[in-house]
Structure formats: C-alpha cells, structure tokens
Amino acid sequence: MTGGICIYKVVLVDDESIIVQGLQRVVNWSKYGCEVAGWANDAKTGAQAIREHKPDILFTDIRMPDLDGLTMIAGLKSEFPHMQITVLTGYREFEYAKRAISLGATRFLLKPSKMAEIEEALEAMTQKLKHDQQISQLLGKSESLEGFTEDPAEEKNESNSFIVNAALKYIEVHYAEKLSLSELADKIYVSQWYLSKLLNKYTDKTFYDLLNNARIKKAKQLLKDPSLKIGNISEMVGFMDVSHFSRIFKKTENISPKEYRNSI
C-alpha cells in the first residue's frame, strides 16, 4: 500500500472455496499495495469477474471441471497482456507447468502452497507491474496499464497463436453445429470482438468465412458419395437450408454442388 491507496486489483479463482477464503484472509495484500477485487469458484464466473474488475493480478487454479487451463491462460494473456497470473494447482506434470509459463503465467505453484511461495509470487508480479509502469512512463504513454494499453492483436506472439489454433481446431470439430462467434469465444476464454480481431489478423478471414470453409470442405468429401442427396449433405455440414448451402458453395468453389459432383 502506498499512501494508503491500493495500487493493484486482484481476482482469485479456484473451485475449492476454502482456498479462495484462505487466500483472502491470510495473505497480507496491503503489504504489496493490493486488494482482492473479486473471486469465483468456477471458470465461467471467474471470466466474468476478470472482465468486470480488469485485475492487475490473478491467482487461479487451472484444473477445474469443464476447464482447459492452458487455453484459459493463453486467452487471458492474449486479451489482457499486462495482467500477471499465478497458477495454483495440484497438477504436477512438469511439461504442463513449462507450457503454462511459456504462455504467460508468472508463477506455477503446486498445492498445498507454502505462504513463502505465495508471497514470492506476489512480490514477483507486483515488481513486474511496477516495471511495466516505469517503461510506459519512459516511453511517454499516458494510458493506464489496466486492460488494453496497446492492441495485443497487432502482435504475433505465442498466446495469440495458441488462441487462434484452438479456435480453428474447435471449428474443425464442431462445424456441423449451430456455432456462433460468441460461443466459440466463450470456449477459449476471450471476448468475441477480440477473437474476431485475432482471427482476422492471423488468417485474414472472418469467423463465418472460416466456419463456412470448414463446412464446404466436408461437403466436398460427402459429395463423392452418390447415394447422398445434396439436401441431406447441406444439413450434415451445418446449413439450415439447401439454397444457402448452394450459394456459399458456389461462392467458395465457383461451381454449384451439383456441378461439383458431376465433375468428380
């Protein structure tokens, strides 16, 4: 605490409520100029808390139900590049820890963590935030380091690449479903407008271009089977009506589905 004023906001996320409550009570947050702004016991509520409070520091588990921890870290560091993350987990795989650090986690602590380890992580994160602020001041930037000071989508880094690859893989698997940009963004822990910008930056295509390309790619395979009607293929790859399917197919391939089938 500097002059009695909190400098850094903290969010805690863990499905074990006893850990969240313990961290809130036991850690001397004010010693490091911090205060706990929010907390959550699951990934979805945690994401909401992060977007609401835009914390400088996050303590989080990455082994929670329905949670892809590495994708969560990549998503958070991609969208909130200045946020410092310490992982608290019972998962002891070294390669997993190494990847988490490479994607942007500051510290990877195994449960049960000693107080000295938590304090060291907190010290490291606050020092990194101070350093970023000093660099910002030296460069003459007036904006706050909270949230977006720069547009991270303009940079090609490991977290951004990880997120784009995760999005493309999800589309490849779920192309036949009624998939939306919003749903995809939720699955990889970023906002939909930010994901849209990343996809555009890395692939030069929109979400719907990528989705339609995946659907048409599968449709071309199915059209090789003469026993399948074009209307059925349209439904199988995720289009609600055959006329829309035909328009998208012709736009993509420059010929109609029927003409494509006859050319095989």
Nearest of 4, 32, 26 to residue 125 by alpha carbon: 32
pLDDT tens digits, one per residue of 238-262: 998 999 999 999 999 999 999 999 9
The residue-averaged pLDDT of 216-227 equals: 96
What domains are there in the chain, each with its CATH number? 8-138 (3.40.50.2300), 153-263 (1.10.10.60)
pLDDT by residue (tens digit) across 12-27? 999 888 999 999 999 9
The percent helix, strand, coil of the chain (3-state, each to 5) is: 55, 10, 30
151 pLDDT higher than 70: no
pLDDT for res 222: 97
Q: What is the greatest pairwise CA distance in the chain?
A: 78
Over its C-alpha atoms, the chain yields an Rg (Å, rounded) of 23
Q: Judge contact between 10 and 37, C-beta under 8 A.
A: yes
At residue 2, the 3 state secondary structure works out as: strand
> How far apart (Å, rounded) are the C-alpha atoms in residues 70 and 76?
10
Q: How confident is the model at residue 43 (pLDDT cuts 50, 70, 90)?
A: confident
Are the C-beta atoms of 6 and 37 separated by less than 8 Å? no
Write down the pLDDT at residue 23. 93
